[in-house]
Amino acid sequence: MLAQTRHYGFEGRNMISIYGGDSPNVIKALIGMEELGIAYRREPLDIMAGEQFSPEFLAISPNNRIPAIVDDDPADGGEPLSVFESGAILLYLAEKGGALVPASVRARSAAHAWLMWQMSGQGPMLGQAGHFLNYAPERLPYAIARFSREVARLYRVLDTALAHRDFLAGEYSVADIACWPWLLFRAHHVTALSDYPNVARWFAAIGARPAVRRVMADITVDPPQDFDEETRRILFNTGGR
């Protein structure tokens, strides 16, 4: 189970509860809250035991995925507000904190576009590559080649975008926060940052930010693991739900 971790402010109301472990999508939200100085607590959720399917969690995350947050102090002053899907969470946090989305029309458009790129491309494709390389019950050469090529293409896209700018929208934003954590898990999709020098520079710069360093002090980046059949059934939806 997760221990409750660092937070700003005080215990009780006026905090955000975040559910989930040390996955890339959870790290996104943690970095967002640390960057914005938003008070939060981490809540235990054992996805390997199937707690993501509990009625209590489904009430806040109907897609039974992590992360999900519950804001005790939403802007409308009403009851606690739940938000699911990591991209939506980042935008919610940025609006609440009044930062991390650029003010100018062009930079804001770029931040939104790269955030959608991460949600629709980078995350799913790197995740599929990691699955077929490490967790599929049998090695499927076509699937491995298909998703590994897509991983390389997406890294090239990112490297090209960063060739003449420090951050994806020109200034640090939700787009960078969304993309960065997936590179922590590059052992899962077998990619070397040395092949992408602009990405490597960007990755190091973000990793050196104080807020990111605070988050990573409490994060364990695990290599690919061996799971028993029941855990595989729960995590990879191989039957029964």
What three-state secondary structure class fits 43? Answer: strand
Return the CATH number of the domain spanning residue range 105-208: 1.20.1050.10
The predicted structure's pLDDT at residue 14: 67
Strands 16-19 and 40-43: parallel
Single pTM value for the model? 0.92
Every domain of the chain with CATH number 1.20.1050.10 lies at 105-208
Where in the sequence of the chain do the CATH 3.40.30.10 domains occur?
A: 1-100+221-241
Average pLDDT over residues 138-153: 97
Residues 6+ apart with CB under 8 A from 90: 28, 29, 32, 100, 115, 174, 177, 178
Supply the mean pLDDT for the chain.
92
The confidence band for 238, taking pLDDT boundaries of 50, 70 and 90, is confident
Residue 233's pLDDT band (cuts 50, 70, 90): confident
pLDDT tier for residue 77 given thresholds of 50, 70 and 90: very high
Does the pLDDT value for residue 113 go beyond 90? Answer: yes
Amino acid at 12: G
Pick the CATH number of 1-100+221-241 from 3.30.360.10, 3.30.450.40, 3.20.20.70, 3.40.30.10: 3.40.30.10
Task: Tell me which residue of 47, 163, 52, 182 sits closest to 125, measured CA to CA.
Answer: 182
Asked if the model's pLDDT at residue 239 lies above 50, the reply is yes
pLDDT exceeds 90 at position 231? no
Pick from 93-102, 169-178, 215-224: least confident: 215-224
Share of the chain above pLDDT 70, in %: 93
Res 235: pLDDT: 82
**185 vs 225, which has greater pLDDT?**
185
Q: What is the mean pLDDT of residues 4-17?
A: 58
| Beta-sheet pairing, 68-71 with 81-84 | antiparallel
User: Which pLDDT belongs to residue 10?
Assistant: 43
- At 40-49, the pLDDT tens digits run 999 989 998 9
Q: How buried is residue 203: exposed, middle or buried, by Cβ count under 10 Å (0-12/13-18/19+)?
A: buried
Residue 33 has pLDDT above 50, yes or no: yes
